[in-house]
Structure 1
Amino acid sequence: MKILTFAASSSSKSINKTLATYAASLVKSADVEVLDINDYEMPLFSEDKEAILGQPKEAKAFYQKITQADALIISFAEHNGSYTAAYKNLFDWTSRINQKLFQNKPMVLLATSPGPGGAATVLNAAVTSAPYFNGDVKASLSIPSFYDNFDVAKNTFSSQELLTILTEAVSSLSK
């Protein structure tokens, strides 16, 4: 199984990238590819820009990565209760190639934040909208207070309960 994982964040210190990468590592038999959405940066989407540029090579490359994967693990950062601008722009451009951009791939959707909300608002938006873009959400999980529940130095959860829930979530990809 080939798992494509990434954080829906452009931060070089993204805790969501840490979470997504860690979650993918729990699927022992998988070949994991970790993407950085900064590698797919494009001008802000608009119909006017699309008329001039067509479909940017970065959007086509991102879509191809999804095509080549058997499953997806995405962890969402939350900016003012919504998607980060970087992810939303990548999503908007790529969905113009194919509105069903997730291609019926099984998905685990995650979110975390340093605070107690755990980016639950954006995670809810992602889980709710994924089926409209042909995403097969197998599980979702919000991790509150990331630094209280994940030991960054040891790269592991300090909360056994959350580790168990995350392990069950990612195991749903191979069912």
Structure 2
Amino acid sequence: MKVLAFAASNSKQSINKQLATAASQLINEADVEVLDINDYEMPIFSMEREQELGQPAQAQAFFKKIGEADALIISFAEHNGSYTAAYKNLFDWTSRIDQKVFQGKPMLLLSTSPGPGGASNVLAAAAGSAPYFAGDVKAQLSVPSFYDNFDPSTCTVTNPEILDQLQSAVTLLK
């Protein structure tokens, strides 16, 4: 099984990338690739830019990566209650290649933040919209108070209840 994991964040120290990586490590016998969406940075999408540029190579490469995967793990950072600008822009460009961005792949959707909300607003938006873009959401999990429930030095969830929930969610991708 090939799993593609990434954070919907362009932060170099993304806690969501840490969470997506930790989740992907819980899948036995999987070929896991953890992407950095910084590798797919493009100009801000607009119809005029699309007419001028066509489909940028970065959007095509991102769409191809999704297509090559058997399952997806995405962890969403929340900026002012919504998607990060970096992820939304990548998604917008990619959706112009094919509205079925997620290509029918089983998905585990995650979110986390330093605070008690755990980026649950953006997670709800992502889970609600994924089916419209051919995403098969198998599970979703918001991890509140990241630094109280995660050890960045070992890339592990330290809260036993959250770890159990994450392990259960990961098994649904198979």
Partner of 1:111: 111
Q: How does 1:25-174 map to 2 (within 5 A)?
A: 25-174=25-174
Quick one: which amino acid aligns to residue 150 of structure 1?
F
Give how far 1:158 is off.
1.6
CA RMSD of aligned residues (A): 0.5
User: Equivalents in 1 of 2:51, 2:97: separation in Å?
Assistant: 13
User: Equivalents in 2 of 1:143, 1:6: separation in Å?
Assistant: 16
Q: Which runs of 5+ in 2 are unaligned?
A: none
Give how far 1:155 is off.
2.1
Quick one: which amino acid aligns to residue 166 of structure 1?
L
Quick one: which amino acid aligns to residue 117 of structure 2?
G
Q: TM-score, normalised by structure 2?
A: 0.99
Q: Alignment length, in residue pairs?
A: 174
Q: Which runs of 5+ in 1 are unaligned?
A: none
User: Contact 2:22/2:157 (CA < 8 Å) preserved in 1?
Assistant: no
Partner of 2:22: 22
Moved more, 149-158 or 63-72: 149-158
User: Equivalents in 2 of 1:51, 1:161: separation in Å?
Assistant: 49
Quick one: which amino acid aligns to residue 166 of structure 2?
L
SS of 1:97's equivalent?
A: coil
What do the CA deviations read for 1:30-80 (whole angstroms, capped 9, x no partner)?
A: 100000000000000000000000000000000000000000000000000
Quick one: which amino acid aligns to residue 140 of structure 1?
Q
User: Equivalents in 2 of 1:84, 1:15: separation in Å?
Assistant: 13
Q: TM-score, normalised by structure 1?
A: 0.98
- Structure 1 segments, 4+ long, off by >2 Å, are none
User: Equivalents in 2 of 1:153, 1:60: separation in Å?
Assistant: 34
